[in-house]
């Protein structure tokens, strides 16, 4: 199912997003230093910039299936957020605003003043924060099973914000859920996770929490956006600011981490937005249905005009009266 956005450009000539016509560029992990800390990222391709932001306990590796094909059309940049993957995990600020500022700084260091921003899960919240903090740098916004648009979130994440969770997490990580196979499925299934990829990816991320620095970064990041009762951050009251920008929502119909109802509600609130429901996906449509994910994202970018925003237009959006 899809609902097309308004103000679309004429569609480009049909072409397969996935195919053997040209050798694929495999993105490798690169590193640079920002503000005294190492930031790891993957980059590939040429053309307009497309920034891919991963979710909590994940890394840029979550985009590996789709990056080589997207790189045929764009300069694709996928960072490991601070506290994740191969990036440093310092004591410091892990708020959405801090992550958004780091994305901006990485873009500028790599020579890109503007980009289309794609965010998955926590990365969707960062993408929305980026569009809010730096509207002049955001050409398009694509949110994939995103957080920050409603209260509901899986009980596993809510439980991880409870007092003392930082002392329990290393004991759970020591059980090596990722290698436990059937045990991981039963345990995570009991916590409401249904899709196989969701279970595998969350178990994989959970296994990284055996590292003390990664665990501390996880707790700080999660508590910035989630509390025992659900998500703390809700960007719904600022969705009217999205009227100026091409806006895409991608959601797995079987998402058991953040419910698809958040996607439906957001689509109704944002006139001209485009909603793509992935019937065969859970929380990770870029992994469950990578070929369709590639086609949808390429079409979204190629069929819309990049947003341009100056201070006067931003003032009008903030104060329409």
For residue 290, CA distances in Å to 65, 246, 249, 278, 293 come to 7, 22, 15, 10, 5
Candidates 267, 283, 288, 299; catalytic one: 283
Instruction: Find, among 49, 120, 41, the residue nearest to 78 by Cα.
Output: 41
Q: Where are the alpha helices (DSSP H) in the chain?
A: 67-70, 96-109, 122-133, 155-159, 165-173, 182-190, 196-207, 212-225, 261-269, 285-288, 290-302, 311-318
Active-site residue 255, yes or no? yes
The CA distance from 160 to 278, in Å, is: 28
The CA distance from 294 to 289, in Å, is: 9
The CA distance from 234 to 39, in Å, is: 28
Candidates 121, 256, 273, 281; catalytic one: 121
Active-site residue 59, yes or no? no
Candidates 80, 255, 288, 299; catalytic one: 255
Active-site residue 58, yes or no? no
Token readout for 66 is 């789709």
Q: What amino acid positions are annotated as catalytic residues?
A: 121, 255, 283
């Amino acid at each position: 199912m899809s609902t097309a956005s308004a103000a679309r450009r004429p569609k480009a000539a049909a072409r397969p997003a996935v195919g053997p016509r040209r050798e694929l560029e495999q993105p490798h992990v690169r590193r640079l230093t920002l503000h005294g800390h190492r930031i790891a990222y993957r980059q590939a391709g040429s053309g307009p910039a497309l920034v891919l932001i991963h979710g909590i306990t994940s890394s840029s590796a979550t985009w590996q299936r789709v990056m080589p094909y997207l790189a045929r059309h764009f300069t694709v940049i996928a960072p490991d957020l601070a506290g994740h993957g191969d990036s440093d995990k310092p004591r410091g600020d892990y708020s959405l605003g801090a992550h958004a500022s780091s994305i901006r700084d990485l873009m500028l260091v790599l020579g890109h003043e503007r980009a289309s921003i794609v965010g998955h899960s926590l990365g969707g919240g960062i993408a929305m924060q980026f569009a809010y903090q730096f509207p002049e740098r955001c050409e398009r916004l694509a949110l994939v099973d995103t957080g920050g648009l409603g209260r509901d979130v899986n009980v596993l994440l809510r439980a991880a914000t409870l007092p003392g969770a930082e002392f329990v997490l290393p004991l759970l990580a020591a059980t090596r859920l990722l290698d436990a196979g059937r045990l991981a499925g039963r345990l995570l299934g009991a916590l409401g996770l249904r899709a196989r990829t969701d279970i595998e990816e969350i178990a994989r991320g959970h296994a990284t929490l055996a590292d003390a620095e990664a665990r501390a970064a996880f707790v700080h990041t999660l508590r910035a956006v989630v509390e025992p009762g659900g998500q703390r951050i809700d960007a719904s009251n600022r969705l009217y600011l999205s009227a100026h920008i091409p806006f895409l929502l991608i959601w797995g119909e079987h998402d058991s981490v953040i419910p698809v109802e958040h996607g439906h509600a957001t689509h109704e609130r944002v006139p001209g937005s485009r909603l793509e429901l992935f019937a065969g996906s859970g929380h990770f449509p870029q992994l469950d249905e990578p070929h369709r994910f590639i086609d949808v994202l390429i079409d979204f970018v190629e069929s819309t005009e990049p947003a341009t925003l100056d201070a006067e237009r931003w003032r009008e959006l903030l104060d329409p009266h």
